[in-house]
Chains A and B, each alone.
Chain A
Amino acid sequence: MSDTHAETVSYVRETMLPQQEPPASTVGPVGWAKTNLFSGWFNTVLSVLSGIFILWLAYRLLPWIISPTWQATSLNECREIIGALNKPHGGACWGVISERWKQLMFGFYPPEHYWRPVLSLILLLVALGPLLFRHLVPAKVIYFSMLYPFIAAWLLWGGTIWNPIVAILGFVIIALSLKFLTSVLNPALALIIGVLLAVIWWVALAGPVAGGLSAVLPIGIEAIASRQFGGFMLSITIGVTAILCSLPIGILLALGRQSDLLLVKAMCVGFIEFIRGVPLITLLFVASVLLNIFLPPGTNFDIILRVIIMVTLFASAYMAEVVRGGLAALPKGQYEGADSLGLDYWQSQRLIIMPQALKISIPGIVSTFIGVFKDTTLVSIISMFDPIGLSNAIRADTAWNGVYWELFIFIGLVFFIFCFSMSRYSMYLERRLQTGHR
């Protein structure tokens, strides 16, 4: 062919031309802008409108935000500083944040003990290590994770060290009775006996034993009443405790909902649908005004525990649905495989089903946690000092009466940082945990 070509065409280029640069309008910033911002009139209009919106927002907000009032000790002082600057839109009064940010974080927790909640939070990350950063953390840490709830409770509330130890002994009793009684008895019976023994231990013996031990060996840190919890520390305490406690309850509820036992199923469905059908605020009203009426006369335990109980119930209904989703996502072959190995119901749940179902549910669990964490702001309505409740109290101080936006912006920002990083992390987990069950 080329030969004929060579004969018919007078000139044919024999060497390749050097590659040319792409046209300036398709590469670099200009090209990028052309494809991503100004492709077509509709996109152009949208881009221009969004650009104007962003600029307008910045024009209105930036002068207000940049305000040299960090040193002010009262709103009037702020007004003087801003008045001296002669700004058109006024300025923010950041003095309230620099004076009260510790209170917004820790509530009324004694300042010299701030290290305790901080340490608890750091230890929480360590304890969650085996779950979240499996490739980084040695597997042995799981034992620490099991001890963590007791350590954290002891760090936060303080008191003698014998209390958590005595509480752990109850679980040791359950474990021992399971170990030694299963050889003679049905495992379910052994479990029931173990739990009964443990309850007897906690109720009747634990208190005096702990008291006696602390009288002999007084090791401990200063006890701090729940009343002094507040701010973000309160939100995190309520959120984390509720999620940790709701996990086992949620798993049981999810299993109950899938159970063949009609009555058990009906009870679980009824509970889940009831809790999911009412707003959290009504449950908090129950915690604040009704729980004392439901419990034996004279019972009185503090509002934080009551709120934690109700938030736990609330979270477990949602957790049950998350776990149910995880169970539903498992292929039927896993159940059948477990059956074919001759495992009984609990064995197959423990060894085959739950490890996989829970792994799939982790993103759901994290988003439930974010939801619960955000919902802890509702406790301000029942007079607890979460960040929003505290902001009301701060504004009742005569020095800061009238401050508004600064507190809300600060609180919103901290919430955003917490929740956003958690949701990003859960997305990352979701990607990592995809093991091809689709």
Chain B
Amino acid sequence: MTTLTDPPSESFRLSMLIYDTRYRAITFQIIALICFLLFFGWLISNTAQNLADLGKEPSFGFLMEPAGYDINQRLIDYNNQDSHLRAAFVGLLNTLLVAVLGCITATVIGVIVGVLRLSSNWLVARLMAVYVEMFRNVPVLMWIVLCMAILIESLPNPRAFRGENPEASMLLFDSVAITNRGVYIPEPLFSRSLGDIPVGNLFNISLDLIAILIVLAIGFYVSHRIKLKADATQEATGVRPKTWYMRLGVILVPLAALLVILGFHLGYPELSGFNFAGGTHLRNSLIALWLALSLYTAAFIAENVRAGILAISKGQTEAASALGLRPSITMRLVILPQALRVIIPPLISQYLNLTKNSSLAIAVGYMDITGTLMGITLNQTGRELETVLLGMLIYLAISLAISGAMNFYNSRVKLVER
């Protein structure tokens, strides 16, 4: 035993670093590390020398200077005297907004199209196939530009709403205006507002929103308790008490009460001056980008969904119909939940792709992080190195966060499996 485990230590020779598998691994790794460090050192020394030649010093001080440009869509307060950093933050929020909206609609459209592609209806299945192939095989940049062009060309401009006999009129009892500058929808207003609380000088959080969320959360919790109780009664007696009005009531009544207390009313958009004023303005650039990214990504998600459904054995469908379930219920209760496990991993990468593709916002003038930090700020300050590196880091952080969250969800879904 001892003779086998104890190699004679005095016989170490330099050549063993290459020929002895025990050492070779370490040798290779050290060589790789040295090469890697040398390469990076080389890049950094080049960068330092180049910047010195140009007379620029890498520093992030420019982020504190006033930006000087305006951003049309901002989720937090911003004006052109605020700093570049705040402009970048406005852009970041816009990126996140379109990414979240896009992921939601892309999933919905993708699932519907994926299911319809397998429909027994010949015309619908073909139509969906045409949609999927059309969007998958043409660059997303073109779809973004085309969506914008269609919105601009086909919708009426605000001037058309004016006059005695307007060419266009508002929808839904004069509450929604669809124009080629965007869609104006009523905005929620509170006449007895609780005010805002500032968060670290960056942005304000509306106390009204927090109050509504708290009331909703309590309502859902109580509703869940009622359901549990109903379940218990059903277990015990076999009769399920009617609880839907109670469950609805505990959510809606407190909410309505709170809204009345806060003095909730809707602010309707109205024509004034050049534009509609009041209401919430969903700009064309947002809608076009959102639409194009959703439709493009949905085509890929539809293929994933289709593959996921086809991966479920036909026996499942047959068993479900043997139980007397209708096709729509079979799909909803039997097939999709199982297909979900196959669908989710590619879905994660589609979400990542959508988020990354949102960087093409610049093509329609949507001011995301690429448009602000890596666009106008880069242009006005001439700080290529700092802005581009910062922008890449931000995207990297977003991507890692999305894949982390989705992987967590994926592992949760997986646990349910056998």
Contact = CB atoms under 8 A, between A and B. Distances in A.
Q: In the complex, are there CB atoms of A and B closer than 8 Å?
A: yes
Interface of A: 32, 35-37, 39, 43, 46-47, 50-51, 53-54, 186, 188-189, 260-264, 267, 273-274, 276-282, 285-286, 289-290, 292-297, 370, 374-375, 377-378, 380-381, 388, 404-405, 408, 411-412, 415-416, 418-420, 423
B392 A278 contact: yes
A388 B374 contact: no
B139 A276 contact: no
A264 B29 contact: yes
Most buried by B among A37, A282, A295, A377: A282
With most chain B CB atoms within 10 A of its CB, the pick from A262, A263, A264, A415 is A263
B121 A47 contact: yes
A388 B359 contact: no
Interface residues of B, number: 53
Q: Which of B33, B133, B142: most chain A Cβ within 10 A? A: B142
B107 interface: no
A36 B120 contact: yes
Contacts of A260: 25
Contact of B46 (A280, A285, A297): A297
Given A263-B33, A370-B137, A419-B138, 6 more contacts: A35-B120, A46-B123, A263-B32, A293-B51, A297-B50, A377-B142
Contact of B149 (A264, A274, A404, A416): A404
B139 A377 contact: yes
A277 B399 CA distance: 5
Contacts, number: 151
A412 B32 CA distance: 45
Contacts of B29: 261-264
Contacts of A264: 28-29, 32
A388 B144 CA distance: 12
A254 to B, nearest CB: 16
B149 A277 contact: no
A426 to B, nearest CB: 12
A278 B356 CA distance: 7
Contact of B388 (A54, A273, A282): A282
Nearest to B146: A408
Nearest to A283: B392
Contacts of B49: 297
Contacts of A388: 139, 141-142, 145
A416 B137 contact: yes
Interface of B: 18-19, 25, 28-29, 32-33, 36, 43, 46-47, 49-51, 53, 119-124, 127, 133-134, 136-142, 145-146, 149, 352, 356-357, 359-360, 362-363, 370, 374, 378, 384-385, 388, 391-392, 395-396, 399-400
18 contacts: A37-B123, A43-B121, A46-B124, A50-B123, A261-B29, A278-B356, A279-B356, A280-B356, A281-B359, A281-B370, A282-B374, A289-B388, A293-B50, A297-B50, A375-B139, A405-B149, A415-B138, A423-B137
A388 B362 CA distance: 14
Nearest to A299: B46
A261 B360 CA distance: 38
Contacts of A297: 46, 49-50, 53
A276 B137 CA distance: 21
A381 B362 contact: yes
A408 B145 CA distance: 9
B409 to A, nearest CB: 19
A196 B216 CA distance: 69
Contacts of A412: 138, 142, 146
A279 B359 contact: yes
A213 B294 CA distance: 57
Contacts of B362: 381
B139 A374 contact: yes
A261 to B, nearest CB: 5
Contact of A282 (B134, B141, B391): B391
A51 B124 CA distance: 9
A209 to B, nearest CB: 28
B374 A416 contact: no
B399 A290 contact: no
B47 A279 contact: no
Contacts of B137: 370, 374, 415-416, 418-420, 423
Nearest to A296: B46
Contacts of B146: 408, 412
Contacts of B120: 35-36, 39, 43
A437 B296 CA distance: 33
A282 B395 contact: yes
Nearest to A53: B127
Nearest to B32: A264
B136 A186 contact: no
Contacts of A405: 149
B136 A189 contact: no
Given A282-B392, A388-B141, A419 B127 contact: no
Given A43-B120, A404-B149, A415-B137, A276 B352 contact: yes
Contacts of B378: 289
Closest 10 interchain pairs by CB? A419-B137, A36-B122, A277-B399, A279-B356, A279-B359, A374-B139, A277-B396, A263-B29, A289-B384, A377-B139
